[in-house]
Structure 1
Amino acid sequence: MSSQLALLVNPAARGGRTVRLLAPVVRRLRAGGADVSVIVGDDPADALQRAVTAVAEGPDALVAFGGDGLVHLAVQAVAGTGVPLGVIPAGTGNDIAAALGLPVKDPLAAAETVLRMEPRRIDAARAGDEWFAGVLCCGFDSRVNERANRLTWPPGRARYLVALAEELRAFRPIPFRVTLDGEVVEREAMLVAVANTGSYGAGMRVCPDARPDDGLLDVLILRAVPKAEFVRVFPSVYRGTHVRHPAVSIRRAASVGVEAPGVIAYADGERVGPLPLTCRIEPGALSVLM
C-alpha cells in the first residue's frame, strides 16, 4: 500500500531558487510508491491552516520541503498529533534537519529517508502557545532579526549583515530574569538562548550539547561583555567553543521562564512575540522520519 504524503512547500526558500528542486523530489517520492499531495499557502497563516487541515485527514506523514522556518510551521501542525514529520532540507538555514542527522545538501537523499518511513520520537518545546523544535533566542540576536525584518534592502543574507552591524552600534546589555525549574537567575546579559537542538542561524552551535530526546532544554546565558570582546568571541559560536568563555553559562531545565524589557523572542528563526515567555519541554511530542 502506498504512503500518503502531504508535502508542505515554501516557494520562497533561498529566494525562490529551490523551486526547481521540487519536481525532482516529487518524482522521486512518487517513484518510491508514495501518493504525494503538494501544499502551498498564499502566506504563512494560510500555509499553516492548509497543513493543519491536511494533518487532520490522517496522512502517513507531513513533509516540510524548505528551511527551518517551514519546519517550524509544520511543527505547529503535527506536534502532539502522532502524524510523523518528514523534512527535506531546502532552505538557507537547515539547522533542525542537521540536528536530526538528515542530508542537508541533497534533497533527493532526504526524500529517500522519507520513503523509508522510520519514525522516531523526539522532544518539542512550547513557548506560550507556540511550539518550537530548535532554538528560541532573545537579546542581541533577536534584535538583529527585528532590524533585518524591517529592512527592505539589501536582499538575502546581506540584509542580516547590515542589521547586525547597525544593532552592534546601538546595543546595550539587557537586564534578564531567567527562571530555571523554579530557580531564579537575574543578570545583565547580551542574550539568552533556550535550545532543544544545538544550533540555529545557519550553523551557530549555540548549545552544542543539546539533544532533542533528553527531556530537557539547554539554556545559554551570555553575560554582559564589552562590545569588542563580544565581536572577538562571536565567530567561535560556529565551532561551539564559545562555551569555554567565562561569560557563558549553560544550564538544563524542563521549564524556563525568560523576562526582559523590550525584547522580542524568535524561535527556529521565526518571530514568537515579546517577553515574558515560559518555555516547557514536551518529551516525545514529535514523531520524525529520520
Structure 2
Amino acid sequence: MPCRHVMDYGHFDVTGWQLPCKGPFPMNLSSAAILLLCNPHSRRGDQAARTVRAVFEEHGREVIEAQPEGREDMARLIERHRERVGTVAIAGGDGTLNAAAEALARTGLTLGIIPGGTANDLARTLGLPLTPAAAARVIVSGRARRVDLGCVNGHAFFNAAHVGLGVEVAKRLNGQAKGRWGALAYAKGLWQALRASQPFTVELRYQGRRQRRRAIEVGVGNGCFYGGGVRIAADAAIDDGGLDVYSLGPRGFWRLLALVPVLHQGEQRRAGIWALRTPALELRTRRPRPVVADGEFLTRTPAHFTVRPGAVSIWVPDDGAGPRP
C-alpha cells in the first residue's frame, strides 16, 4: 500500500501525494548481477567501462555489458535484462541518464551512475565521486536512495527543463564544443545565447492560478543543478516532491550578465526574479517553443509538468554526503 506524504512549502501546502513504500527490494542487491551500459559517444565512456568492470568483478559481481545504439535502445536493453539484474550501472552524462529514466522507473531496477559527461549535474546533486573507480565502489558498497522524477508532456527528467535561454544554450552545445571546451562550453554557450536572447510571452498555470509574463527564460527544476553546477534554487532537493520554477524577464545584456553569479547560486528571489515551488505546472506560449530537459530536446509547449515522487532508486555514498558545490 502506498505511503501518505505530507509537505509544507511555506506559502503552499501540498498534501496527499503518494510515495512508494520503501519496502524490501525484489532481490538481494548486494549480490545481484549488474547491467553495465556505456555511452560510446561520451567523453570518457569507453575507458570508464573497463575500470568499472574491474571494480565490480573484484567484488564478485556478475557483469552484463552492453553499448546502446541510441535513446530507444537504452530502454530496450534495461527491459530485456530486468529479470537478470538488480542494478543498472550507466557510464555517461546527464543526457544518457535521461534516456534510461523511464525504463528505470518502470522496472524498479536501481541506478548506478558512472559520471562520464561534461556537466554531470545528477551526480553533483547526489554527492557522487566523479572518478570511475570511486563511483563504481559506491555502487557495490553504498546505499539506495529514492529520488523524484520530473515529467514534461510524458517525458521524464532528473535535473531541469528549460524554455527560452536554456534552449539556445543547448543548441550551441554540440559534441565538438563539449570535446574541445569541456565544462567551459556551457559558459561560452551562455555568453552567445545571452547576446542573441529574444523575449517571449508565457502563461504559467499552477494550483488554480495564472501568471502571464514576458520572459527570455523559464526554468523548471526537479533536481538541484543544471548547466554544470548552476543551482535551480538555493534550497532545491531531488526528493522533496516539488518543482522549482523561475521566470527571467528581459533585461539589457550587461544587466543579464551581472545576474549570472546570482543565478549560479539559485538566489533568484534575492535578485527580484519571479520564482516559486509547486507540484505541477503548465506553460503556454503563443506559438510552440522547444523544451530542453537534461540537455535533451524532448518536447514543445504547451508543456505540462508534474513530479513522480520517489520514482527511481539510485546508489549514493553511505556517508550522508549531500550535493557538491
In 1: Cα distance, 2:34 partner to 2:164 partner: 38
On the 8 A contact 1:136/1:195 being kept in 2, the answer is yes
Residue aligned with 2:213, SS: strand
CA shift in 2, pair 1:181/1:156, >3 Å: farther
How do 1:226-237 residues align onto structure 2 when only pairs under 5 Å count? 226-237=252-263
- Following TM superposition, the consecutive aligned residue runs of length 4 or more in structure 1 with deviations greater than 6 angstroms are 151-154
Pair 1:173–1:255, CA change in 2 (3 A):
same
Counterpart of 1:257 in structure 2 is 282
C-alpha RMSD of matched pairs (Å)? 2.3
Structure 1 length-normalised TM:
0.89
* Of 157, 161, 167, the match for 1:132: 157
- 1:4 is matched with which residue? 33
Give the gaps of 5 or more residues in structure 1. Answer: none
The aligned counterpart of 1:222 is 248
- The aligned residue for residue 78 of structure 2 is 51
The structure with more helix, counted as a fraction of residues:
1
Q: What are the equivalent positions in structure 2 for 1:1-290 lying under 5 Å apart?
A: 2-14=31-43, 17-55=44-82, 57-103=83-129, 105-116=130-141, 118-149=143-174, 156-157=180-181, 163-246=189-272, 248-260=273-285, 261-290=287-316
**Kept in 2: contact 1:3–1:33 (CA 8 A):** no
Once structures 1 and 2 are overlaid, which stretch shifts more, 43-52 or 24-33?
43-52
Residues 231-285 of structure 1, C-alpha deviations (whole Å, 9 max, x = no match): 2212433333454211x12211111111223421111111112111111111111
Cα distance, 1:63 vs structure 2? 1.3
Alpha-carbon distance change, 58 to 196 in structure 1, aligned in 2, over 3 angstroms: farther
Structure 1 residues 210 and 153: CA distance shift in structure 2, 3 A: closer
Question: Contact 2:52–2:133 (CA<8 Å) still a contact in 1?
Answer: yes
Q: TM-score, normalised by structure 2?
A: 0.80
Question: What is the SS of the residue equivalent to 1:79?
Answer: helix
Unpaired runs of at least 5, structure 2:
1-29, 317-325
Please report how far the alpha carbon of residue 160 of structure 1 lies from its aligned counterpart in structure 2 after TM superposition: 5.8
1:58, 1:83 within 8 Å by CA — same for their partners in 2? no
Alpha-carbon contact 2:268-2:275 (below 8 Å) kept? no
Question: What is the alpha-carbon distance in structure 1 between the residues aligned to residue 79 and residue 275 of structure 2?
Answer: 35
Percent identical residues:
30
Contact 1:79 1:131 (8 Å CA) reproduced: no
Q: Which moved more, 1:269-278 or 1:35-44?
A: 35-44
Per-residue CA deviation, residues 107-160 of structure 1 (Å, 9 max, x unaligned), is 2111111102621222112111211111111111112323545x9779644776
How far has the Cα of 1:8 moved from its partner? 1.4
Equivalents in 2 of 1:156, 1:130: separation in Å?
30
